[in-house]
Structure 1
Amino acid sequence: MRILKRLFKWLLTLSLIGVFTGAATFAGVYYYFSPELPDVETLRDVQFQTPLRIYSADDKLIAEFGEKKRRPLTFEAIPDPFIKALQAAEDARFFDHFGIDIKGLSRAAFQLASTGSIQSGGSTITMQVAKNFFLTREQTFKRKFIEILLALQIEQELSKQEIMELYVNQIYLGHRAYGIQAAANTYYGQDIDSLTLAQLAMIAGLPKAPSAFNPITNPERALERRDWILGRMLTLGYIDQQAHDEAVATPVTARYHRSDIELDAPYIAEMVRQQLFAVYGEALYTDGYRVWTTVDSDMQAEAIQALRRGLLDYTEDHGYRGAEASIELDTLNAEDQLNALRQHTAYAGLEPALVLAVDAEGADLLRTDGRHDRLPWEGIKWARPFRSVYWNGPAPKRPADVLSPGDVIRVMRDDKDQLRLTRMPDVQGALVALDPHDGAIRSLVGGFSFYHNKFNRATQAYRQPGSSFKPFLYTAALENGFTPASIINDAPIVFHDVSLEDSWRPENANGTFNGPTRLREALYRSRNLVSIRLMRALGIEQARAFMLKFGFDPDQVPANLSLSLGSAGATPLQVARGYAALANGGFLVDPYLISRIENDQGEVLLAANPLRACEECPEATTVAEAEPETSPNTPDTSRDENAGDNVLLNNLLPPEQLEAATPTAAPRIISRRNAFLIYDIMRDVINRGTGTRARVLKRSDLAGKTGTTNEQKDVWFSGFNQDLVATTWVGYDQPSPLGRGEYGGSRTLPIWMDFMEDALIDMPDNRPSAPQGVVRVRIDPASGKRAYSGQTNAIYEYFRSEDVPRERARSPEQQLEAPATEAIFGY
């Protein structure tokens, strides 16, 4: 007994010495490393690197920019089965320990001391948070001690829920996915709360080794890891046998999902990215900004399809230009043929294919996914050989007239879901649609395919608008005393200039002359000689100054008579902006694309307060009249040399200023009465002029104007009602003739109609009514004077009340009694 007592005292003394020694050692280690310990309090304010996300007005994701895909979650949003799976995989006693697991650490320390490396884990989730946020990944005693100390501090400062939230949002899980929500989106295309138990266990297995246990690149090892975790969950009592067995029996369903882009609008996304980067810099890609645009997803989708259909129609109309490339089939095996084909990228649904064989019924194809397919003669026979933009070769009689083995071609699915031969268009185009009430951009397409060519023709291409520029001239005439019934002579005219080698003899598009012509008729029939005489009557400088009111770049608007025929340079967006003033009653609105910007917490940083077409609103103040207030949230556009032309950041205000702001009227540039008159005249472009194809839309509120430049290098159509303005343009990037029969009314008007048919489907017919001071009077169509009593061919015309013709036309009998020469504007 005496020996046992001594032994007990000796062991107790050793234990106390060990405890005190351990405590002293720990204290020494703490004080030694404490100067190097970061402040764990910063974890409360941690900001995860979260990408920029851009949305449509109806919450469809347009784009995501940033190296790290991440969508942070709160603890409450984390599914409980995932927490259990993560505990089973990483730290079963997470909610019980104080930050470190003594048993696991002892095992890891022994392995490190005996082998020089750690063979098994010892880190708790808390320790991993310390490592991920504060430390490097080197495996040394020093780093491990600091990790332990930080874990103890973290447990003192943060709750278990806060620690878990930090962990699941920070961890890297492969394929640029950071955090469990991004991983769920990347591997399964769903949010984390929609995943099955098997899928949750798969993601829970990734933190240990995102590459080794990746279900896409290494599905076998990923499956082993998943099933081990499910077994641990069963052992720990987290799930029952039935749930375990069902999950283990589930096959690997992971595949790579790109960001869940819901709306194809890359030109718009790039506009937002470029101009916000000029304001926010690199923080744009990491600080979790979310941007809502004014884009309507349905209109945007239809705009893309309408423009692509129109450009493909042009491509087919002008013949097949041949294969994109050729591959020597005899020199390559099947694998090399496929690899050669994969050097060609699919664009806008036009997929590359390799012709393997050609027979009387069609062609056998190899597709980039390795499948073999069949292109029937029905999808080939359109392909008359291209000779020039003015003519095609003879129609093919058999597939071999068009295709040869080894050709790399492009194919698409037609309306009947049949395979059809096609080709990337050489021609380009643009379409932009605005809300004329405030300038909101509802849709914008800058070319056939952004991924093939990123040049944005809707905003960057300055092209001659041709006759689509004439409404601005005619509006200037109305503002300067002309009426829709004014008579101008449509007759030949010659201009002599000693600086030119030859005289200028402008003509109408069809080469004919109509003589005395009413202003209304001259516009809807697009008579060039009337436009020239009209500009001479107004004076070049006066007419030019008025046209500049519509927002065009003065450097692109020449001060000569050619301006009357549309020789200015303008982008489709600028033309649409000008037409918006014709549609909204005479107000010049500013196009804008961003409706609001939020931070990663959902707090609104900036929101749009656009100028509006508004009779009752107070007028906008000029910069000289009032300096805008500033706010910490107000973007600094001083970094952007083109901030003055910024159509994205216009009228964005922080919330505190937006609440106090009142709707502000855009500047009025046309009187309300003349805005109504030009609108009504332009309705006749569709009712009886160069845009009559659009009558198939069966609406009475549509107005517009075609435009075609010399040699058909640019063709346009711009049209509108009171709720939507849309401009379309088609041409080659390097200006050259489009070919025979290519006019605004034949090429761009169908694109516009294709778009507007769906864009206006939910908008009721909305013709403007004549404002006070505008009256409707019967006139003689030949002279523009008031109709004589009983005149059978009289027509109705609108006038400002003070401009109603006082003189009546003479009847045939009166003309016989006293013939007289009618006065016309013959400038």
Structure 2
Amino acid sequence: MSKNSPQQTRADMRRGRQFTKKKKGPFRRIIKIILSLFVLAFLFGAGLFTYYASSSPRITRSALSSDNSTKFYDASGKVISRLGSQNRDYVKSNKIPKTLKQAVVSIEDRRFYKHHGVDPIRIIGAAISNVSGSSLGMQGGSTLTQQLVKLSVFSTAASDRTLKRKAQEAWLAIQVENHYSKAQILEFYINKVYMGNGVYGMQTAAEYYYNKTLEKLTLPELAQLAGMPQSPVAYNPYKYPTYATKRRDEVLDAMVKTKAITQAQAQQAKNTSVKSGLTKTHSRTQTSAKTSKYIDAYLKQTIEELRGKGYKPNSGLKVYTNLDLSAQKKLYQVSNNDPSILYPSKRFQVGATIVNVNNGKVVAMQGGRKAKVAFGLNRAVQTGRSTGSTAKPVMDYGPAVQYLKYPTYQPVKDTPYVYPGTDKSVMDFDNKYQGTMTMRKALVESRNIPAIRTLENVGVSKATGFLKNLGMTFKKPLELQNGIGLYVSSQQLAAAYAAFSNGGTYYKPYLINKIVQANGVSRTYHKQGKRAMSPATAFMITNMLKGVMTDANGSGTAAKVSGLYEAGKTGTTQYPDDYINKVPADSSMDSWFSGYTRNYSLAIWTGYDHQFKADSYITPAQTDIAQQIYKSVMGYISQNKPNTDWTKPSDVVATNRGGTTEYYVAGYPGVGTDNTAQAAGSYSVEGSSSSDNTVVTQPRSDNTRRSESSTESSESTPTTQQPGGDGGSNNDRDSSSTTSSSSSQSDTSSSSSSSNTASSSSSNDSGNSNQTDNNGGNNQP
């Protein structure tokens, strides 16, 4: 084998190098592309950060140290409450216990003394935690300095958590670190944070919760305060001790990791009850003394609505509400100190809501009597008590007119009735039967059996849809028994009855009209009404409900305001069979009245929080108290308002029957026997003869087979009284507009209501009725 020549060897080497280059080329190009993209991304990010930072708002020492109070206004633009300004004692750094500083840093920002406002390591850790779902990020990506900037300058609304806002927040945090010491920044933060119940700053919180200064608090108490800013409502030790304990223990564990305390000290602190040392009285309140007793329930619900919109009540907001302070004071006075109303005891309670029927604005709300609502139950929005016969217009007769075209003179039977599939009978207060009667008479006199028979014919499924259109949804299917008792709040009931008043349009009730942020950005919320029923249905139900208050046999004559065009319905609920012998005969657990004019809708619940305790029943005479409250309040708020009657829609036809003007929907003049409706026939108009030979029997509902007389209302979870569950229809839509300054007020929609599980009861209001099954519906404060 011949050796290669030197020339050939060199040529082979060149080819080898070329071959090597060809193999390495693509990899190097990929690396270059990646590096180029990285550099471009970095430059773009840096440029975008610089651009956003250049438009950052100015941050001052005043902004960092101020209380950032939120102001609430009534409908006339007058301040009714300031959260923060009068509820904070500023404490200097040298007066803040070292243990508290360690606790705050341990739980909020462990690298606080190492970073310069922004912590890349913390951001990466939080990102990994978010992706992996691990517990690495008990702390988020924002440093304590960034949190201070957010509280001092920016809105806390969820909708404002944008890239631009984050960039500006980071830039300002770096500026703060350059101008102030770590001790000063920590001082600002400890004095700035919201601590729940209208209290700002940890010094004030120490006085509020423990009636002590910070210097006198114990380790578990300091740990409790350090953990509260993350969620001051959920970690309220009075209301949610379980959540508060968990959060306190997280702070203690964090302090062990940072070696601020030993494991033994942490365990000893954990062994202390979170309720230990809590004071029972509070020297500080969240509103001024002049208005606090009137508006506590309204303000509490406003704050719930504010949180529902993504805001926190600690960011210098201006919140314009729909509160009519004059109406609110009247409702309070009548519910607490009206000498003309014989309240049986201080334990006797009231929950009431007034709604503007034309837009859903909640103008007044009473959450209780002889007690503050701030820490307890807001009875205006509780859903744990049966509404009794106030359910009949919205679940029985309204759907019958809407879907079956029942005329107001539809024959219905008041004869013995047993719930299908059970041995439980429906009874009325007098334990008597009146045979066949008109739908009008049955509603006016609040007879139970005709209502249940009507619901059976309509079908529970269609009735549930009708209720949903009126803002009422439920987690468990409704049953026939709910036709004489729903578990909804006074706020929901007032809004539903408002739809009867305005011709069939449902507006979800709301308290907040406009929000102006500290940076001047203003949001108004426009509520769009939703067609819930035909104008004919609204008019015919209203026409019949007038008789509840004007007819000699009507169940609500005690509520009648002389000369006022109005309509309404009573409701009572009875004790269950296993308790009926423990209370006097004809005693009730709950008494309601819901009435309306062309201007306002007012729904009222009365009763006892603990209805199964001794002397906690309502006598027949006391069932009128709800009506008396309505009469006094509605008469007052109707002054200087238009007093007009409802106008008959063009498709509703009047007919004279037995000297009474009755109504039917044009095109559906016939009626048949009970539980049927005619699609055709010839009924008299203006007193002519009638024929009822042709009938079309409606199909039975699939929901008629029930073995128990029970149901459940929609529920909500304990966080921020949830927070959130209001039983409203998911079809309702809020639309908002944003401007850079205070703009004209307009409508919005939000409500929250708490709800407890409860069973359905049988009810009647001319007198009282037997309840089939009820667990009391307790929703205790």
User: Normalized against structure 1, the TM-score is what?
Assistant: 0.46
Q: Which of structures 1 and 2 has the bigger CA Rg?
A: 1
Higher normalized contact order (CA 8 Å, seq sep 6+, divided by chain length): 2
